[in-house]
Amino acid sequence: MLFISLGPAAAQDPIRVQTDEVLVPTVVFDKELYAKLGTQEPHHRDSYTRLVAKNSKLWNDVPVKNLTVKDFHLFEDGLEQKIASVRFEPPAFRVVQDNLGRHPEIVGSGGGLWAYPDLPRTDLSVWLAWPHYVLAYVPSKSPPGSCHHIQVNVPRANLIVWTRSEYCNTPHPASDPLNGTEFGNTLEAAARAGTSTGIDLKLTLATFVDQPDSARVYLSASFPRESLHYEIRDRTLYATIGSLLLVYNEDGALVARYSDFACCDYGNSQESGNSAKESPASSPAEIPALLPNRYEAQVSLAPGKYLIRAVISDGLHFGVQQAPLRIEGAEPGKLAVTGLVLARRVRRLPADRTDERVAGSYTPLVSKGVEFIPTANTEFFREDTLFAYFEINNPAIAGQPPARIFANLRILDSSSGSPADTFAPVDTATYATPGNPVIAVGRGLALSHLAPGAYRLQVQATDATGRNTEWRSMDFTVTAAAPLQLDADTQRGKKEAILPPDPH
């Protein structure tokens, strides 16, 4: 069985410069235990899956957690630095269960979310997250733009140490960690070229305006995992997977940029016997599960007209897409539908947790305890349920009680513009939160009665005083082809549906 750990993913967090300190994420784990887990056969009585089934916290024994400042030696450009502090942090990784199955997610170095293919429920062999240390030191002064090599050693037997290998002295925010790096420059060149080479990237944007001077813009991207380049060396995945988002105003000037890194810079891995040859234990069927196929990010922008250009790359191939974006500021006292996203994945959040996937500035789209994950692929099968999420701004009128709000939904035939399906008005009282003017609404819509073709979902809000909003629209298509079959263990029965489809 191939065992490839996401442990180093924790060390993929960028080397950061905060005030006068450099922060270096570092993973340290027990080499013998890691090697033992990595060489087990799938049906061996001591296979990793069986061991974890007996002890779900087994991974706690693999990372080394008792190290202090005295145990580390950190070098910048070959010169040892004085480590100011060391702290231990949990992994930026989780396994998420939704209506379609169970898949891993990891927080990228720029704060976005990288999602991976669904796994069989019985598969516990690959996704093992490692907590990591963060080493802080005060660097010597260096010219802006200069890059520095980092090496971290722990002089103890039987330990493996992984760190990022380089940081550059460039003035950029934490949301743009690839700025000034070699990989970042490659992404910029691909964005300027504007042409995809080898990666079929799908992109969708959604805007939610609840402030007069700013909006939350959600980006959702999907791409075939099979198109990503990778190597396997000594049972470890080596790849260079990242993203770049460029925002231009209507004059063509660059006004914002965001980047992210998913995988996998192990830098100066302190490990004996590291071989560059591909491991004979690697299996083509197992490799794709270790490569992402979706990316989500959230940015904040002021009202205006923009062009958004996004790039996903593995270092050799590029997926490039762009989309126009118009943001209108929220008008005080005006009823409005703001933002509309389509989703095929939803998941119910625990009653005491509504922010499980919050990463940095990413705020999940949650309605009545159910999270809606925007999809970039708006082609649905007739057997699918289309999930829609939107928000209604219902500003209070001074001296008056809040008016009762209803949401109207309809599906139009894109070619003729005639109604293909209508729904009863939705009373949003059960969606509203006292004291919050924003009403988050999520619905599930059945598609089985629609003929294959192109459609448009529209949403409008009305109230008892006669106020109504413009219709918000999102296009999608329906195909008669049977849904792609996942592993049987990932399927959820219809009776387990998180949201039942609305009646027609």
pLDDT at 100 exceeding the cut of 80: yes
Amino acid identity of residue 329, one-letter, is: G
Report the predicted TM-score, pTM, of the whole model to 2 decimal places: 0.78
Q: What is the DSSP letter of 448?
A: T
**Torsion angles phi and psi, residue 290, rounded to 5:** -95, 0
Q: What is the DSSP letter of 359?
A: B
Lowest pLDDT segment from 12-16, 145-149, 237-241, 435-439 = 12-16
Beta bridge partners, 420, equal none
**Ramachandran category for residue 78: left, alpha or beta (phi over 0 → left; psi -120 to 50 → alpha):** left
pLDDT at position 400? 61
pLDDT at position 114? 92
What domains appear along the chain, each with residue ranges and CATH number? 7-327 (2.60.40.10), 336-502 (2.60.40.3880)
How far apart CA 344 and CA 444 sit, in angstroms, is 9
**pLDDT tens per residue, range 323-366:** 999 998 888 778 999 889 999 999 998 765 544 444 455 788 99
**pLDDT tens per residue, range 446-487:** 999 999 999 999 999 999 888 899 999 999 999 987 655 544
Q: Return the closest-CA partner of residue 196 out of 321, 325, 281, 81.
A: 321
Q: Return the closest-CA partner of residue 191 out of 261, 263, 257.
A: 257
Provide the pLDDT confidence category of residue 28 given band limits of 50, 70 and 90: confident
Please, are residues 110 and 262 in contact by the beta-carbon 8 Å criterion? no
For 104, counting Cβ atoms within 10 Å of its Cβ (0-12 exposed, 13-18 middle, 19+ buried), the class is buried
Whole-angstrom CA distances from 47 to 43, 219, 357, 384, 498 are: 6, 39, 31, 37, 34
How far apart CA 245 and CA 299 sit, in angstroms, is 10
pLDDT at position 159? 86
Q: Return the closest-CA partner of residue 90 out of 31, 139, 131.
A: 131
What does the mean pLDDT of the chain come to?
80
- At 414, is the secondary structure helix, strand, or coil? coil
**pLDDT tens per residue, range 360-396:** 557 889 999 999 999 999 999 999 999 999 999 987 6
**Ramachandran category for residue 329: left, alpha or beta (phi over 0 → left; psi -120 to 50 → alpha):** beta
Other beta carbons less than 10 A from residue 347's beta carbon: 19
Please, are residues 231 and 238 in contact by the beta-carbon 8 Å criterion? yes
pLDDT at position 402? 67
pLDDT at position 47? 54
Alpha-helical regions (H) of 47-128 = 48-54
pLDDT at position 102? 85
Which pairs from 34-42 meet CB under 8 Å and 24+ separation?
A: 34/5, 34/7, 34/62, 34/160, 37/3, 37/62, 37/128, 38/3, 38/5, 38/235, 39/3, 39/281, 40/1, 40/3, 41/1, 42/1, 42/125
List, in order, residues 6 or more apart from 345 with CB less than 8 Å away.
98, 99, 100, 372, 373, 375, 387
pLDDT at 279 exceeding the cut of 50: no
pLDDT at 3 exceeding the cut of 50: no
Q: What is the dihedral of CA 50, 53, 57, 63, to 10 degrees?
A: 20
How far apart CA 246 and CA 239 sit, in angstroms, is 23
Identify each DSSP E strand in 250-378 by its residue range: 254-263, 294-301, 304-313, 318-327, 336-348, 365-367, 370-374
Omega of the bond leading into 264 within 30 degrees of 0 (cis): yes
Two structure tokens written together for 217: 């813009």
Please, are residues 37 and 316 in contact by the beta-carbon 8 Å criterion? no
Please, are residues 41 and 141 in contact by the beta-carbon 8 Å criterion? no
